[in-house]
Chains A and B, each alone.
Chain A
Amino acid sequence: QSALTQPASVSGSPGQSITISCGGTSHDVGTFTGVSWFQQHPDKAPRLLIYEATKRPSGVATRFSGSKSGNTASLTISGLQAEDEADYYCCSYAGSNTFVFGLGTKVTVL
């Protein structure tokens, strides 16, 4: 299956809100609730931010929120902070016990 579609980069100033989109199809994002978002800092393992499209694990700041509409999922970071500068990946269940990731979005805090 094809990778989910994410913008290569998104930037914002401290305190602003940014949204990262994750475009899929009716075979993945559009059909299944298992959409997750991960944050990855350089040379670190990824960290779970959002699961089941909208749920936030304990310990994740409330400024991270997720949504889904049709074949597109989105991650919003409200009140952008310097430490939010990282790569972000979406992931969806794609049926038949398989998963697909997006190619990643680099977030820059100006």
Chain B
Amino acid sequence: QVQLVQSGAEVKMPGASVKISCKASGYSFTSYYIHCLRQARGQGLEWMGFINPSAGSASYSQKFQGRVTLTRDTSTGTVYVHLSALTSEDTAVYYCARGGQVPYSSKFDSWGQGTLVTVSS
């Protein structure tokens, strides 16, 4: 079955960077876009960006442009989310989700378990 397994919780100092991994299994990794989203405690879902695992190309929300980078390793079926210049506002649960086979599909049909990132001095 389709499964996305994310790396564990992180605690970071303000100004630091964090790198979260998302390992996909149970389907053809290069055939579906992978999206990154986040959710602060008690708040709604926020879309951050996606990567085309086949081409390695990514697109980002304007809000995070310049601060977030999505990369992938096709040999292991893993997507990495790198977020830099962290502030307390970045404290949230970060999710990866499988999208569709085209970039404009919001069919996020399988989600990782979430990774809590806490930014605190």
Contact = CB atoms under 8 A, between A and B. Distances in A.
Interface of A: 3, 32, 34-36, 38, 40, 45-48, 51-52, 57, 89, 91-93, 96-104
A100 B105 CA distance: 12
B113 interface: yes
B106 A36 contact: yes
Interface in B60-74: 61-62
Contacts of A52: 105, 107
Given A97-B50, A97-B59, A97-B103, A48 B108 contact: yes
Nearest to B57: A97
State the 4 A-B residue pairs at the shortest beta-carbon distance, nearest first: A97-B59, A51-B107, A45-B111, A36-B106
Contact of A91 (B45, B59, B103, B113): B45
B111 A98 contact: no
Contacts of B46: 101
A36 B107 contact: yes
Interface in B79-121: 95, 97, 103-109, 111-114
Interface of B: 35, 44-47, 50, 59, 61-62, 95, 97, 103-109, 111-114
A103 B47 contact: no
Contact of B112 (A40, A45, A99): A45
B45 A32 contact: no
A71 to B, nearest CB: 16
A98 B106 contact: no
Contacts of B114: 45
Contact of B44 (A32, A47, A89): A89
A51 B44 contact: no
Nearest to B112: A45
